[in-house]
Amino acid sequence: MCLAIPGLVESVEGRRAVVDFGGVKREAMLDLMEEGSVKPGTYVIVHTGFVIQTLDREEAEKTLEVWRELLEKMDLQQTSTE
């Protein structure tokens, strides 16, 4: 199973992009995407180091909010059991 977290493309150089996942930056390959479809400011999904999908800003922000809520609940559960 793969859990995908949207990342924001910071820069593109050739077929490589630097993607920011909430402060964690990783390089991702663009080989699976149509040339020119990924630009700085684009939200993307990355799997095994390759960009596999672009997302519009609204969808990415909704997904990130769900992740924030999930992580917050997990943190609250962990602290209540300690």
Distance CA 8, CA 6 (A): 7
And the tokens for 74? 């997990």
Tell me: the pLDDT tens digits for 25-77? 999 999 999 999 999 999 999 999 999 999 999 999 998 999 889 888 888 77
Helix, strand or coil, per DSSP, at residue 82: coil
Distance CA 60, CA 63 (A): 5
The reported pTM is 0.81
Domains and CATH numbers, the chain: 7-81 (2.30.30.140)
